[in-house]
Amino acid sequence: MNSKKVAIVGASGYSGEELVRLLLSHPFAELTAVTSRQYAGQPLARVFPRFAHHPRARALGFSEPNAERLAREAQVVFLALPHGVAAEYAVPLLEGGCQVIDLSADFRVHDPAVYQEFYAHDHPAPGLLPRAVYGLPEVYRDQIRTASLVASPGCYPTSILLPLIPLLKARLIEPEGLIADSLSGVSGAGRKAELDYLFVECNESMRPYGLPKHRHLSEIEQELSEAAGRKVILQFTPHLIPVNRGILTTIYATPAKNGADRTAPDFATRLNERVARCYQDAYAGEPFVRLLEGKALPDTKNVVGTNVLELAWRVDPRTGRLIVMSAEDNLVKGASGQAVQSLNLMCGWPETAGLI
Amino acid sequence: MNSKKVAIVGASGYSGEELVRLLLSHPFAELTAVTSRQYAGQPLARVFPRFAHHPRARALGFSEPNAERLAREAQVVFLALPHGVAAEYAVPLLEGGCQVIDLSADFRVHDPAVYQEFYAHDHPAPGLLPRAVYGLPEVYRDQIRTASLVASPGCYPTSILLPLIPLLKARLIEPEGLIADSLSGVSGAGRKAELDYLFVECNESMRPYGLPKHRHLSEIEQELSEAAGRKVILQFTPHLIPVNRGILTTIYATPAKNGADRTAPDFATRLNERVARCYQDAYAGEPFVRLLEGKALPDTKNVVGTNVLELAWRVDPRTGRLIVMSAEDNLVKGASGQAVQSLNLMCGWPETAGLI
Amino acid sequence: MNSKKVAIVGASGYSGEELVRLLLSHPFAELTAVTSRQYAGQPLARVFPRFAHHPRARALGFSEPNAERLAREAQVVFLALPHGVAAEYAVPLLEGGCQVIDLSADFRVHDPAVYQEFYAHDHPAPGLLPRAVYGLPEVYRDQIRTASLVASPGCYPTSILLPLIPLLKARLIEPEGLIADSLSGVSGAGRKAELDYLFVECNESMRPYGLPKHRHLSEIEQELSEAAGRKVILQFTPHLIPVNRGILTTIYATPAKNGADRTAPDFATRLNERVARCYQDAYAGEPFVRLLEGKALPDTKNVVGTNVLELAWRVDPRTGRLIVMSAEDNLVKGASGQAVQSLNLMCGWPETAGLI
Amino acid sequence: MNSKKVAIVGASGYSGEELVRLLLSHPFAELTAVTSRQYAGQPLARVFPRFAHHPRARALGFSEPNAERLAREAQVVFLALPHGVAAEYAVPLLEGGCQVIDLSADFRVHDPAVYQEFYAHDHPAPGLLPRAVYGLPEVYRDQIRTASLVASPGCYPTSILLPLIPLLKARLIEPEGLIADSLSGVSGAGRKAELDYLFVECNESMRPYGLPKHRHLSEIEQELSEAAGRKVILQFTPHLIPVNRGILTTIYATPAKNGADRTAPDFATRLNERVARCYQDAYAGEPFVRLLEGKALPDTKNVVGTNVLELAWRVDPRTGRLIVMSAEDNLVKGASGQAVQSLNLMCGWPETAGLI
């Protein structure tokens, strides 16, 4: 395989740090630059002692983010920056000939008006939107292979879209009335010095937040609508849970009315079989989606540190509803691991390189 | 106030231990006996060092549970036992003239057939069911005052019933399609030496369990149906979360169709006002229900160690749905504190005695 | 009992919040004012929802700290402020006729030069030092009863002094070579928005810090020297542990050389008996020191939320050393509970009022 | 490199599971068998869902441990069994021509009488003791390369020996009076269904245990004595801390009396330099020992999941003592990672293979 030089802009947050971890051990990617306004001039190993023993980390140090220099030093650049800021770097990097994988929200939503509605400022680079590919490999694999700009999905969206898209495409569930109830570890809030995320404020605490109109709804509804072939509105409630990593999402869906006679005695059995077949068709060959069998249910501890999303479902014969549950590591499949999955596709490497 | 002698049968589990804590500091109750098969013969202070400094704890020791002796030593007896076992003690204690507050599921469900369906064995004392009062003071305060047998509600049921009963009674929501998504701390699983509840298996883990037909549904649906005046079926998903204590429940409800024009521009505002008024009417005078105002949302850390249930709600104008959230301490308002609240009512003491 | 009006200056930190909790339930103290620069003008119940259900909390709101007004509103004032700042309030409050209980370090060290050495600024009110009594009731009970200014001990000092002072006074251990290795929950760092105390940075982490010359050594060594009748230097290593509350201290001491023949076959047995007798003499009647018996060892979960310090010891026949271990709640016996214990003494109330 | 077939006997505990994780990703080792009495007959991926996505895990299933069959299926066998049991398998496996890496205590102590003293039963295979090499690569690298039986060190011993051995060999510290105060995550207690290790009993708890004569002292003192050239007795206190993984050890040592004039004004500076040089000499080239510089102190979160031991030290000019601190992952450098390090040496592979 040909190796490629890669860089990370904004490597001091949790997603950036996780990208560093993954790329240091990647068999084909060569990490040549990491930037951070805050830590510019410091060795990577001093800021993140956990990487100090890695032979490839020794030569790396944080630099100021400079698009021109980055374009010379790297062929692919990851942007792990706040929304609004990411676009500022994407433009010159693409002009400089780099491929860009953006982990922010800047290029996930096709419609700049929706972006404005959810992010409360004008889109910083609407001209690039047509080039951007939504970086969910299980859905857009072919487009990612040839993309120059990948908008890597958010953590909540990944945990909701992978369970729902196959069901909507197969018309197994109604596009109305969908609910996603999600639990997130505290790293999802980023490395920010705010009282709300202090250890004592989060430990022994469980709390909802950001409802009913969380920003991630913009990309989730876009992709659900795409799969359903019509507008989908989602009820979404995120909760903050005292774990470092992980997202657990429980989804409530109504089986498609024309596909199932809910009064039939074998309704639940038959629906269960159809859902199983649908997921098998969609994911049996996917290296990073794990369909749980038997009595097993998702547990974030089984996916933390990996790029795998666990998925299970139950039909409730009492309510006629379908419940789907997923678990992922918000920093891996929900952010940096998925971004590396896109990198592998863009570079023609095996999709699992550096991820298993 | 007249004091009364009280006893706890099965005081070695988490609910029993919490009862000990509350009753040691109660101004009118005198704790005269605590029983435990496992610890019989040992001083309370050795088994639970945390009580050792309490002057009243020094004289207390665990004894074998013996209904005859308990009936002589106490006027009110708490049963903190597994379902099925509790009924064995309730019968002779009631015959012996005691008042009984049962924290198990044995007397919560009126219909022995429903009990059999959910608990998988015949009801052990169906003859007592007509005497049993469901111990939710906010709903059955008058009946509890004169009850000889109180069936104290389960932890999940409390977190779901207090938010939903006023809305159903006021016909503000549809009784169909209700969903309760709950998060529980690990003490909810009891003090049981099982691999699933080891520190390493729970810490850094989030997982659903027991869906879609959790045993607590039997009492929840009974009480919701009572409030709605018709049969209610609930979708209920519990999750295990790495905190010691606390339940956080998020409820999804559909506003009553005949009470609101969801297409009206002020639909959300008006529904919000009606819900606020409904909750004010129901709970403004309640010492243990806290209606959150403004942007505040429930957080278990604000109720742990107290008998308070926090409650907030949001109308989502995008989906037309009402979301209600509650937080409680599963061992206090969800178990032992609520049982003491019933004790206070039964004894004619101030309802908040020993609880604030 | 006569009640008294009390106030808390700086009630928004963790110690201040814990003082609020204790004083709201105190049978004789009437909390009339709580101050906070940051939250001035806001109701107490909004800033700390956990107090909202308390009847006495409803009328309370945060005000700007103003010594003149406080002196009118309260007879006893608690200062829960950073060192250096506390003294600014102590002076006018004492002049205004208040009794002052200071939880900061400002009046703990008798010698302003030592204060300057450890706190790196001049003492702000050296003239008050002679009036200040070190608020460790088990040692200075009589002086506290008549004090106008009590310097309540630090959290680490309490966990070290209560185990060591009786042994030093009885000349059972050498004053040389003492080592205290302490573990603290994260609330010990205060409610400060700093990266180091974020949930993700503390959870799944254990780390030493602040060695070898932690500020608390100034007061610890002063009191150990007082007990030993000669200068004592302590080796002290604090560690940060992912729990909300609690301090666990393990102390290593050398038995006094002239009191024990370490080569005698019954050396360990006899030393063990002498230590037991020493601790019995010192603490058997103390309501807040729990001497553990048999195989029991301290565990912070048994003291969290209480004003109790647990204490156990072992003689190691292989090394000839005495190991003493203590556990306390850093915010209760290590701060606010101990301050209330002093309040009780100063007001002539039962020492355990509001604390059991 | 030539690959080799390896097997794990007792792969269902935490160390065994960690061995599975490391060996599945090892570039040269081929994991051909995993055994477990409890799970025999079940696929690996069902028992440990976290491995289910690994291509190599799919074919693996748990089998009954059978030495004869294992000797046919593997060239190197790891024993992750309780002490006493491990020896039963070591004998036939060695006779069958396997190399054996034992993670239990059975072959760590050379003297069967010491084994009997600390483990309370006769040594099960004293005849093998002369063949066993203590598997601490930083000390016994050459012997490990040619060993047929490696006794991989315990978790606490590793965290104590790596800091102390170079100092003792260089005669920089006195061999008398050494103290090691250690903190361990709960996985150190093993995957055992006991009340003491339930989530609720460990979370929000800190507690010492097993003092003053923990079993690991047998191997620690053997190795310290070897390094010092004379008998060393250690004071050792382990504590249980609510984290999944990690050991943090704080060591107190007295600088060698003939090597330093403690009254000299530059005593601390000079001792510090000598210690730095000593550690540089010992560990500068070691891939898995990280000497921290500047103000950095060990933190278990920086080593969890890696085979690295972090090490820092401070000279306290006030006490004249040297304090050394280390952090490691108890399941990696403290168990399975170190065992793989030995595997690499025994097989002639790069020492870091599969570990970075």
Q: Which of A200, A172, A173, A197 is closest to A187 using CA atoms? A: A197
Query: Is the preceding omega at residue B212 within 30 degrees of 0, hence cis?
Result: yes
Quick one: pLDDT at residue A265? 82
Instruction: Encode chain B (356 residues) as per-residue pLDDT tens digits.
Output: 899 999 999 999 999 999 999 999 999 999 999 999 999 999 999 999 999 989 899 889 999 999 999 999 999 999 999 999 999 999 999 999 999 999 999 999 999 999 999 999 999 999 999 999 999 999 999 999 999 999 999 999 999 999 999 999 999 999 999 999 999 999 999 999 999 999 999 999 999 999 999 999 999 999 999 999 999 999 999 999 999 999 999 999 999 987 667 788 899 999 999 999 999 999 999 999 999 989 999 999 999 999 999 999 999 999 999 999 999 999 999 999 999 999 999 999 999 999 99
**Which residue ranges make up each domain of chain D?**
4-153+334-347, 156-330
The verdict on D235 touching C (C-beta cutoff 8 Å) is yes
Cβ(B32)–Cβ(B91) under 8 Å?
no
Quick: pLDDT tens for A56-114: 998 899 999 999 999 999 999 999 999 999 999 999 999 999 999 999 999 999 999 99
Q: Under an 8 A CB cutoff, do B200 and D191 touch?
A: yes
Assign domain A4-153+334-347 to its CATH architecture.
Answer: 3-Layer(aba) Sandwich (3.40)
Beta strand pairing status for D149-151 and B179-184? unpaired
Cα(D121)–Cα(D109) distance, integer angstroms? 14
Q: Is D250 helix (H, G, I), strand (E, B) or coil?
A: strand
Report the alpha-carbon distance of residue A287 to residue A236 in Å, rounded: 28
- For CA atoms B70, B72, B74, B77, the dihedral sign is positive
Is D301 in contact with C181 (Cβ distance < 8 A)? no
Chain D CB within 8 Å of residue B200 CB: yes
CB D313 within 8 A of CB D323: yes
Average pLDDT over residues A219-230: 98
pLDDT value at A124 more than 90: yes
For residue A130, the model assigns a pLDDT of: 97
**Which is it for strands C4-9 and C29-35: parallel, antiparallel or unpaired?**
parallel
Residue B213 contacts D, CB cutoff 8 Å: no
C244 touches A at CB < 8 Å: yes
* pLDDT at residue number D154: 97
Rounded Cα distance, D17 and D13, in Å: 6
**Given C211, C300, C318, which is nearest D314 (Cβ)?**
C211
- What pLDDT band is residue A264 in, cutting at 50, 70 and 90? confident
Count the Cβ atoms, other than its own, within 10 Å of residue C171. Answer: 14
Token pair for residue B148?
């000889």
Q: Judge whether C310 and C328 are in contact, CB under 8 Å.
A: yes
Q: Average pLDDT in the A206-215 region?
A: 97
pLDDT at A334 over 80: yes
Active site residue A347: no
- How many CB pairs below 8 Å do chains A and D form together? 46
Question: What span, in angstroms and rounded, lies between the C-alpha atoms of B322 and B260?
Answer: 12
Decide if pLDDT at A261 tops 90.
no
pLDDT at res. B263: 80
Q: What are phi and psi of D292, to 5 degrees?
A: -85, 145
Per CATH, the homologous superfamily of domain C156-330 is: Dihydrodipicolinate Reductase; domain 2 (3.30.360.10)
Q: Please tell me the number of Cα atoms within 13 Å of B329 on its side-chain side.
A: 22
Residue C270 neighbours by CB under 8 Å, 6+ apart: C260, C264
Provide the whole-model pTM.
0.97
Mutation target vs A (from B117, B174, B239, B254; most A CBs, 10 A cutoff): B239
Local structure of residue D245 (DSSP, 8 states)? S
Tell me the CA distances in angstroms from B338 to B153, B330, B341, B342, C69, one per residue in order: 8, 10, 5, 6, 41
- Chain B residues in contact with A234 (beta carbon < 8 A): 319
Q: Is D310 on the interface with A (CB under 8 A)?
A: yes
Spatial separation of the C-alpha atoms in residues C53 and B288, rounded to whole Å: 7
Position D262 scores a pLDDT of 76
As beta bridge partners, residue C314 has C323
Enumerate the active-site residues of C: 155
Report which of D225, D82, D221 is spatially closest to residue D157, judged by C-alpha positions: D221
> Within A9-154, where are the H helices?
14-24, 44-47, 67-73, 85-95, 112-119, 137-145
Of A186, A308, A302, A159, nearest to A245 by C-alpha is A186
Is the pLDDT at C260 greater than 70? The verdict is no
Q: Do A302 and D25 touch (CB under 8 A)?
A: no
Mutate to test the interface with C, among D174, D184, D198, D204 (most CBs of C within 10 A): D204
Place of tokens 């603490």: C283
Q: Which residues of B154-297 form beta strands (DSSP E)? A: 179-184, 207-208, 235-240, 247-253, 289-291
Rounded to whole angstroms, the Cα distance separating B341 from B351 reads: 6
**Which chains pack against D, by 3+ Cβ pairs within 8 A?**
A, B, C
D319, D326, D331: best mutation site toward chain C, by most C Cβ within 10 Å? D319
pLDDT of the residue at A260: 62
CB contact under 8 A, C199 and A194: no
- Model confidence at C259: pLDDT above 70: no
CATH code for the structural domain at B4-152+334-347? 3.40.50.720
- Is the per-residue pLDDT at A140 higher than 80? yes
- First vs last Cα of chain C: how many Å apart? 17
* Residue B258: predicted pLDDT: 73
SS3 A223: helix
Give the model's pLDDT for residue B265. 82
Q: What is the pLDDT of residue B262?
A: 76
What is the token pair recorded at C66? 């103003």
Name residues whose C-beta falls within 8 Å of residue B155's C-beta, 6 or more positions apart in sequence: B184, B188, B247, B328, B330, B331, B334, B335
Please state, for a pLDDT cut of 90, what percent of chain D lies above it. 95
Pick from A47-56, C311-320, D32-41: least confident: A47-56
Residues of chain C with C-beta less than 8 angstroms from the C-beta of B310: 49
CA–CA separation, C115 and D96 (whole Å): 71
Cβ separation D53–A356 shorter than 8 A: yes
State the pLDDT at residue A97: 97
Query: Residues B14, B190: contact at Cβ < 8 Å?
Result: yes
And the tokens for D45?
Answer: 């991926």
Q: A189-198, C263-272, D18-27: which range is least confident on average?
A: C263-272
| Alpha-carbon gap, residue B195 to B202, rounded angstroms | 10
